[in-house]
Amino acid sequence: MSYGLLGLRRDMESDAMQGLGDLAGQQAQQKRANEAMKTAERGQKMSAVGMGAGVGMMAGMQAGAVGGPMGAAIGAGIGLLASSIF
Do 85 and 66 contact (CB within 8 A), yes or no?
no
Instruction: Give the per-residue pLDDT at 50.
Output: 77
| pLDDT at residue 30 in the model | 95
In total, how many domains does the chain have?
Answer: 1
Can you give the pLDDT at residue 38? Answer: 92
Give the model's pLDDT for residue 74: 73
- Residue 1, pLDDT score: 46
Residue 36 Cα to chain centre, angstroms: 4
pLDDT beneath 70, residues of the chain: 1-3, 56-68, 70-71, 83-86
Instruction: Indicate the pTM of the whole model.
Output: 0.56
